[in-house]
Amino acid sequence: MRDVAVIGIGIQKWGELWERSLRDLWVEAALNAINDAGVDHIDSIYVGAMSPGLFVGQEHIGSLCADYLGVTPVPATRTESACCSGGMAMRSGFIEVASGLSDIVLVSGVEKMTDVDGGGATYALATAADGDYEVYNGITFPGLYAMMARDYMHRFGLTREELAAVPVKSHANGFHNPHAQYRSKLTIDGVIKSVMVADPLTIMDCSPITDGAAAAILCPLDLAKDFAKGKPVVKVAGMGAATDSIALHDRADFSALNAVAVSAQRAYEMAGVKPTDINFAEVHDCFSIAEIIVSEDIGFFEKGKGGQAAAAGETAIGGKIPINTSGGLKSKGHPVGATGIGQIHELVTQLRGDAAERQVAGARRGMAQNMGGSGGSSVVHILEVV
Amino acid sequence: MRDVAVIGIGIQKWGELWERSLRDLWVEAALNAINDAGVDHIDSIYVGAMSPGLFVGQEHIGSLCADYLGVTPVPATRTESACCSGGMAMRSGFIEVASGLSDIVLVSGVEKMTDVDGGGATYALATAADGDYEVYNGITFPGLYAMMARDYMHRFGLTREELAAVPVKSHANGFHNPHAQYRSKLTIDGVIKSVMVADPLTIMDCSPITDGAAAAILCPLDLAKDFAKGKPVVKVAGMGAATDSIALHDRADFSALNAVAVSAQRAYEMAGVKPTDINFAEVHDCFSIAEIIVSEDIGFFEKGKGGQAAAAGETAIGGKIPINTSGGLKSKGHPVGATGIGQIHELVTQLRGDAAERQVAGARRGMAQNMGGSGGSSVVHILEVV
């Protein structure tokens, strides 16, 4: 396998973008990545998207995107793994470059969630859960993660204030991210007293509905220096993916995410590093409890200690291991198919030293962890400055 | 890149399977492929599916399938490119094995189309066209292919009888396929006088709505002999994929499919062969006119001559170049995400000499051509006996 580098990144301002279509958002992000990389052609495209069929009545997303970027007949594949569809696009592009089949691959993600046909965004998102055994019986994602939160609080003594520390920290970071959907600062009290969604999770524990896209350009590492033009060369050092039962009730432990643990372990092994070698991470904080559990299962904290760590500022910029410097899904937004590539955008921005007010000092190696459903799938990438 | 072989294939009886769920169909096909290959583990899974969100309210298909096969935490990715979602699963699995990342990869496809939520199967399928510019204005796929047929008939003098020869030939083949949905023989007159769908296409020119799944196991060629147990070793000799405008009206020529031509050319180049080196082919006959145009654009016949060739029996078993020996989409069925892998199933069956009454004598090299939408994407694989 060839070593692979990320030579370009592109994004646009995420939010409720009523006047923009899925194809518009994607093309803007893709062009930004192409311009950032300085490439004059593309060999292959991957587009992560979770449910454009339900959200906007459009499948065949690869062809649509290649067409509107004006690059047909370049091959284009949509990848889907619920909310880690973007991360799987990154994985597929990495493999295609590593294989030697293609040199310049555009990996991307997009979701247009606010103009929803049919049953609404909550129904569309629920199709990431087990349709026959979970959704049919009325559960949706806030309820699934609320059960995880209740189990975790009962077993490990997590307090409501510690849980609320996660979105407070993430919004403090996202306040400085020009692409973030919600650039507002929160307080612990404000999170706890916001509208209840699924006890104990209030609306400020929940990531929002977002329109957005993100893109990155991959190439073999030995070509990357030609495109760097003075910027640091960023290598994909490790990658790992894993699945778990799609239904939460089929798991032995509601307070652990096995797909996250396995995917991280595989990425560490490929990169030849351990958790303490990671300088910062973007993780899948679809709900505040998810960030806490993930931060443990990727090896940053002991099981049961993630909430205390967040409340103590260990995951803030300047802390022991900054998490979600972009603002995370909660503040930056969660256009589900784009989220995994948005994480790659933040990693490269940090590794290049371009993160301005939210820059992590000495960022040389970062991790992106992207998750589908209630943890039915997870994909992890480790990027580092060569 | 490592050479890649197909060491196992699995399918089930396609049809209107009201009592079977998507996960049931997929697991049956996957287990059949695993048993056929004799593997004791899987490193990675790809599942082609076009629109399970719209058809059955279920996304996150990779995780669902890995879970119900009982192989979590094996990574699983869904690929989508409308009706060539299965072909793109094959392409992705081929790349993953070729890269060296994984040795044993399960590639598959599935669609459950008869129990449809929402707007029905015709709406779900229409999401493979351009939602904003085609579907919004009322066109669906029979109408798009009818326009292609009218253009082609006008320019090349194709007769209604020649067009009808395609499904008559395909049903004659599918009659001998135990997995086919419709094992009935047709007549030219019967096709022409069947119910009109979109002039000139009658219902017997149109592939059906189908529930079905198919799977195959890939591994490096140098491991394939260990699994062959006397069966011929089948190598993936060539692969090519391409896109075109998603909307038909954006093309200069309604009677040609550029993505098909480019994807076939790339596959020929990788395999180092030319059209006359192919012994038989499975092509994407979603409508009878599609098989005629495809048979030209993959290089079997001159432009404008594909209909005459079909009517003269050149594409029948025993003819110059047998096409759709399985029965094709028309007789075998078209569970859209599964179709591309169903084609791989037929190629391997023929190359092993296991096709019984529909066996092509001396079949050593076959082509599978799988297409999305009105030709917005196409992927071609060439398999050969080593």
For residue A68, the Cα-to-chain-centroid distance in whole angstroms is: 25
Residues A160, A137 share a domain: yes
Q: Which domain holds residue A366?
A: 129-208+237-385
Are residues B288 and B220 part of one domain?
no
Interface test with A, best of B71, B77, B90 (most A CBs within 10 A): B77
Predicted local confidence at residue B109, as pLDDT: 98
Catalytic annotation present for A334:
yes
- Annotate B191-253 with DSSP letters as a single string: HHTSPEEETTEEGGGB----BEEEEEEEEEHHHHHHHHTTSPPEEEEEEEEEE--SSGGG-S-
Same domain for B134 and B111: no
pLDDT of residue A120: 86
A116: pLDDT strictly greater than 90: no
Query: How many whole angstroms separate alpha carbon A212 and alpha carbon A45?
Result: 18
Question: Is the preceding omega at residue A167 within 30 degrees of 0, hence cis?
Answer: no
Residues of B in contact with A23 (CB under 8 A): 132
Residue A97 contacts residue A2 (beta carbons within 8 Å): yes
Do B136 and B113 sit in the same domain of this protein? Answer: no
The confidence score (pLDDT) of residue A100 equals 98
CB B45 within 8 A of CB B106: yes
Task: Please state, in angstroms and rounded to a whole number, the distance separating the CA atoms of residues A243 and A371.
Answer: 10
CA A290/CA A285 separation, integer angstroms:
5
Tell me if A346 is assigned to some domain.
Answer: yes
Regarding whether B172 and B138 lie in a shared domain, the answer is yes
- Report the pLDDT value the prediction gives residue A146, as an integer from 0 to 100: 98
Q: Could you tell me if residue B244 is inside a domain? A: yes
In this predicted model, what pLDDT tens digit does every residue of A205-222 receive, in sequence order? 999 999 999 999 999 999
Question: Chain A closest CA to B379's CA: distance in Å?
Answer: 9
The residue among B79, B257, B377 with the most chain A CBs within 10 A of its CB, best to mutate, is B377
Check whether residue A221 and residue A256 sit in a common domain. no
B332: CATH:
3.40.47.10
Three-state secondary-structure class, residue B188: helix
Handedness of CA B324, B326, B330, B331 (dihedral sign): positive
Q: How far is B33 from chain A (nearest CA, A)?
A: 21
Dihedral (Cα; B69, B73, B77, B83), 10-degree rounding: 0
User: What is chain A's percent helix, strand, coil content, to nearest 5?
Assistant: 40, 20, 40
Please state the φ and ψ torsions of residue A346, each to the nearest 5 degrees. Answer: -70, -40
- The answer to whether residue A122 sits within a structural domain is no
A91 and A135 fall within a common domain: no
Identify whether A179 is a catalytic site residue: no
Residue B249 to residue A351: CA distance in whole angstroms:
44
Which candidate from A62, A73, A372 shows the least CB-CB separation from B60? A372
Closest Cα to residue B284, out of B263, B308, B302? B263
Q: Which residues of B touch A63 (CB under 8 A)?
A: 81-82, 243-246, 372-373, 376-377
Question: Residue B379: its chain A contacts at CB < 8 A?
Answer: 75
Closest Cβ–Cβ partner in A73, A96, A379 for B262:
A73
Q: Are A67 and B247 a contacting pair at CB < 8 A?
A: yes
| Pairwise CB contact (< 8 Å): B373 & A250 | no
Q: Which residue has the higher pLDDT, A228 or B359?
A: B359
Q: Which of A53, A76, A92 sits opposite B53 (nearest CB)?
A: A53
Closest residue in chain B to residue A65, using alpha carbons only:
B246
Min CA distance, B159 vs chain A (Å)?
31
Both A30 and A87 in one domain: the answer is: yes
At A201 the pLDDT is 98
A118 interaction partners in chain B (CB closer than 8 Å): 118
pLDDT tops 90 at residue B116: no
Mean pLDDT for chain A?
A: 97
Mean pLDDT to the nearest integer, B33-48: 98
Q: Does residue B78 belong to any structural domain of this protein?
A: yes
Q: Tell me, what DSSP letter sits at residue B286? A: S
- Which residues in chain B have Cβ-Cβ distances shorter than 8 Å to A81? 60, 62-63, 76-78
**CA pair distance B233, B107, nearest whole angstrom:** 18
What pLDDT score does B120 carry? 86
Cβ neighbors of B41 (< 8 A, separation 6 or more) are: B104
CA atoms of A17 and A210, how far apart (whole Å): 8
- A127 neighbourhood in chain B, CB within 8 Å: 52-53, 57-60
Other Cβ atoms within 10 Å of B289 Cβ, number: 27
Q: What is the pLDDT of residue B115?
A: 81
Give exposure, A247-258, as e/b (b: 16+ Cβ within 10 Å): bbeebeebbbbb
Same domain? For A164 and A216 the reply is no
ipTM over 0.90: yes
Yes or no, beta carbons of A63 and B96 under 8 Å apart: no
The span from the CA of A366 to the CA of A379, in Å, is: 14
Question: Is the pLDDT assigned to residue A118 strictly greater than 80?
Answer: no
Q: What is the pLDDT of residues B170-211, one digit of tens each?
A: 999 999 999 999 999 999 999 999 999 999 999 999 999 999
Contacts of B76 in chain A (CB under 8 A): 81, 243, 377
Query: Do B296 and B371 belong together in one domain?
Result: yes
A14-42 burial by CB neighbour count: b if 16+ within 10 A, else e?
Answer: bbebeebbbbbbbbbbbebbbebbebeeb
Mean pLDDT of B135-152: 96
Options A83, A84, A206, A286, the catalytic residue: A83
Taking the CA of residue A136 and the nearest CA in chain B, the distance in Å comes to 10
Task: List the single residue in B with minimal CA-CA distance to A245.
Answer: B67
Average confidence (pLDDT) over A154-165: 98
Judging by DSSP bridges, how do beta strands A105-111 and A377-385 pair with one another? unpaired
| Residues of chain B with C-beta less than 8 angstroms from the C-beta of A373 | 60, 63
For residue A127, which of B109, B60, B337, B225 has the smallest C-alpha distance? B60
Q: What is the pLDDT at residue A115?
A: 81
CB neighbour list of residue A91: distance below 8 Å, 6 or more residues apart = A79, A239, A241, A379, A381, B75, B77
Percentage of residues in chain B with pLDDT exceeding 90? 97
What pLDDT is stored for residue B48 in this prediction?
98
Asked if B51's CB is within 8 angstroms of A127's CB, the reply is: no
Domain assignment of residue B94, yes or no: yes
Whether the per-residue pLDDT at B327 is higher than 70: the answer is: yes
For residue B101, give the nearest of A1, A61, A75 by CB distance. Answer: A1
> Which of A19, A54, A58, A60 should be substituted to probe chain B, the one whose Cβ sees the most B Cβ atoms within 10 Å?
A60
Name every chain B residue with its beta carbon within 8 A of the beta carbon of A57.
123, 127, 131, 135
Catalytic residue IDs of B: 83, 334
Distance from CA of A282 to the nearest CA of B (A): 21
CB contact under 8 A, A72 and B245: yes
Counting residues of chain A whose pLDDT is more than 90, the rounded percentage is 97
Going by C-beta distance under 8 Å and a sequence separation of 6 or more, which residues neighbour residue A342?
Answer: A11, A14, A86, A109, A212, A214, A282, A326, A332, A335
Q: Taking Cα atoms as reference points, which of B236, B246, B243 lies closest to residue B267?
A: B236
Size of the A and B interface in Cβ pairs below 8 Å: 224
What is the tens place of the pLDDT at every residue in B209-247? 999 999 999 999 999 999 998 999 999 999 999 999 999
**How far B360 CA sits from the closest chain A CA (Å)?**
31
For every residue of B111-157, DSSP letters joined together read E--SS--TT-HHHHHHTTS-TTTTGGGT--HHHHHHHHHHHHHHHH-
Of the residues A63, A113, A134, the best mutation for testing chain B's interface (the one with the most B CB atoms within 10 Å of its CB) is A63
Q: Same domain for A30 and A168? A: no
Establish if A124 belongs to a structural domain.
Answer: no
Do A262 and A346 lie in a common domain? yes
Q: One of A171, A176, A179, A334 is an active-site residue; which one? A: A334
> Considering only CA atoms, which of B365, B376, B345 is closest in space to residue B268?
B365
Task: Spell out which residues of chain A touch residue B78, defining contact as CB-CB under 8 Å.
Answer: 79-81
CA distance to partner chain B, nearest, from residue A123 (Å): 9
SS3 A145: helix
Over residues B358-370, the mean pLDDT reads 98
Which residues share a beta bridge with B15? B211
Which chain B residue has the Cα nearest residue A46? B79
Quick check: is B41 in a domain?
Answer: yes
The closest CB to that of A243, out of B74, B99, B131, belongs to B74
Neighbours of B88 (CB within 10 A): 31
pLDDT at B117 over 70: no
Mean pLDDT, chain B, integer: 97
Report the number of distinct structural domains present in chain B: 2
B92 and A77: CB-CB below 8 Å? Answer: yes
Distance from CA of A48 to the nearest CA of B (A): 9
Asked if residue B123 is part of any domain, the answer here is no
**Contacts with B134 (C-beta within 8 Å, 6 or more apart), sequence order:** B126, B144, B247, B248, B249
